[in-house]
Amino acid sequence: MIIVLIGYMASGKTSIGKKLAKKLSYNFLDLDDFIEEKENMSVTDVFKQKGEIYFRKQEAYHLKSILKSENNTILSVGGGTPCYSGNMDLILETEKAECIYLKASLKTLVNKLMKKKATRPLIAHVETEEEMTEFIGKHLFERAQFYNQAEIKVSIDNKTKDEVVEDIVLKLF
């Protein structure tokens, strides 16, 4: 089985994915890390040097190949991955894949991302909590139609990573 974790940035896709993989004895794969390895540069540099269209094509190509894998894998994808190139349809149509939306409230995301904005190029320019709320709110509105198609939705609000992992396991099995 391939368990695909989707959600907005800072929803815990990578950190929760690693804990879930360990608990289930699955492989863990972060799609952005995979692309960085293949491109031999950071996602930020791929965007800067080759453009978003190139990145989205690579993302869709690698997602397809990973979904064909026979290995039990937890796959963490970028926040925008489900929204482009028919990727969400591909995930949902893959028989051996389960899609899990790690859902966070706007307040939770703003709190987390205000602390991490220096390490996130997409939001590094955002200065105030008000601007961050507007930025994330707009994105969530645009992406909700994709995220909400996930077969399983798990709230991360006011939970530890271990509690979220337990929630996922209970809903999966």
Report the binding-site residues.
Answer: 10-15, 32, 56, 79, 120, 143
CA–CA separation, 17 and 13 (whole Å): 6
Which DSSP string do the residues of 3-41 spell out, in sequence order?
Answer: EEEE-STTS-HHHHHHHHHHHHT-EEEEHHHHHHHHHTS
Give the tokens for residue 126: 């955002």
**Which residue in 113, 120, 155 sits closest to 137, CA to CA?**
113
Quote the DSSP letter at residue 56. Answer: H
Q: Which residues are annotated as a binding site for Mg(2+)?
A: 14
Residue 30 bridge partners (DSSP): 76
CA–CA separation, 11 and 5 (whole Å): 10
CA distances from 119 to 10, 74, 102, 112, 164 (A): 11, 24, 21, 12, 24
Q: Which residues are annotated as a binding site for ATP?
A: 10-15, 120
Structural contact between residues 76 and 99, judged by C-beta atoms closer than 8 angstroms:
no
Q: Which residues are annotated as a binding site for substrate?
A: 32, 56, 79, 143
